A and B are shown apart, each in its own frame.
Chain A
Amino acid sequence: MGTTAGAQQIIGALKAAGVNLVSSVPDINMLQLINLLYEDKEITHVPVGREEEGIGVCTGAHLAGKQTAMLMQNGGLLNSCNGLTTTALQFGIPILLLVYYAGDIGDNAFHMVGLVTEPVLQGLGIKHIVMRDPAKVKQDIAGAVTLANSSKRPVALLLTRAVL
């Protein structure tokens, strides 16, 4: 589910970092966050059916000047590997990847997805941080957006329940 306070903190940090378009595929742990996105007036929210579509939507929006983020579960990160490689990385598109870290330590499901998530990001050459400290949310999101823009690449933040 996530908490309202956690979701509000993340939305506030996204706005502070200049993010103004978020594409999403839901995960139950990001329910509060996605509900807030539906209501938000400043951030354009673009739900998609499959995560790779979202990489395309963020790319198209970036070409027109939007600061974008893709919200998804790590299973969806695996779904979007070709789009990340041959569109986002090949064209040099900064996208903030906000990825719920299913199968992380302490999780009782999706252990296989959890096992491969960080090696896949490393293999793609996508820098990432695992977010475990609610006190660092604003700093991590700001830092990831700065790096995405300066490197012109996607940067991933793996969201754990502690920050949601």
Chain B
Amino acid sequence: MKRFECLQAIAPLITDELFVCTAGGATAEWNAVRPSDGNIQVKTLGLCSSIGLGLAIALPRRKVFVFDGDGALWMNLGSLATIGLHQPKNLIHICWDNHQYESSGGEPTAATADNLDFAGVARSAGIKSSRTAITIEELEESVSHALSHDGPHFICARIEAGRAEAPPLRYDELENKYRFIRYIEETEGISILRIAMPASYLLR
């Protein structure tokens, strides 16, 4: 299955969930399918699962999706153990597994050898709801299940290599951050960004 078709299939299931997206092709495609200030694009390969965990712990009543890649997850495989330790009920971690570092030129990853069962690793690390999806129907069913049950959830989506035509994000990481935080403020009804006042202002 192609990643873009997968994204189109799961988009109708999504409302205001937050998305932490890996530094890879999934991000531009997801922004094309579901443009939202609730999407943030990570710049450090491998760190999206950890950022998603922090977000899920800080907002325990909000569903948080992580869009990971097989190369990125290999780089931070330990994050599965950390998620297994903390058991965030609201975390839905999807690994788009195309067996290669697509954004880095298509070199093979550990997944290429087919010895690495990401869902098996996740399950052994304590993420009980761990699945592998190889058809779009399985993926839809897995995401529906994750949205309606307590997690943490892990889904390894086995996809073909290749990118769809999708424009890059229209703004840089700083604007992405501020938009993302404002989106959380608006949808959660909370105040997050605070501007420090100079001491001279406080003295008046």
Contacts and interface: CB of A to CB of B under 8 A. Distances in A.
Contact of A82 (B44, B56, B81, B192): B44
A38 interface: no
B51 interface: yes
B55 interface: yes
Interface residues of B, number: 36
A58 to B, nearest CB: 6
A55 B47 contact: yes
Given A83-B47, A90-B43, A56 B54 contact: yes
A156 to B, nearest CB: 19
A49 B82 CA distance: 7
A114 to B, nearest CB: 26
Given A50-B78, A87-B42, A92-B177, A64 B51 contact: no
B51 A65 contact: no
Interface range for A: 20 to 34
Nearest to B66: A60
A91 to B, nearest CB: 5
Contact of A150 (B52, B56, B196): B196
Interface in A45-71: 46-50, 52-66, 68
Contact of A60 (B51, B76, B86, B190): B51
Contact of A59 (B54, B85, B196): B54
Contacts of A64: 54-55, 58-59, 184, 192
Interface in A67-114: 68, 82-83, 86-87, 90-92
Contacts of A63: 40, 51, 54-55, 58, 177, 180-181, 184, 192
Given A61-B54, A63-B180, A64-B59, A56 B47 contact: yes
Nearest to A47: B85
A44 interface: yes
Interface of A: 21, 23, 44, 46-50, 52-66, 68, 82-83, 86-87, 90-92, 146, 149-150
Interface of B: 20, 40, 42-44, 47-59, 76, 78-79, 81-82, 85-86, 173-174, 177, 180-181, 184, 190-192, 194, 196
> A-B pairs with the 10 shortest C-beta distances?
A56-B50, A60-B54, A60-B55, A64-B58, A57-B54, A65-B192, A60-B51, A61-B54, A61-B58, A56-B47
27 contacts: A46-B57, A47-B85, A49-B78, A49-B82, A52-B47, A53-B47, A55-B50, A56-B49, A58-B54, A59-B47, A60-B51, A60-B54, A60-B57, A60-B58, A61-B54, A62-B54, A63-B51, A63-B55, A63-B192, A64-B54, A64-B58, A65-B190, A65-B192, A83-B44, A87-B43, A87-B51, A149-B194
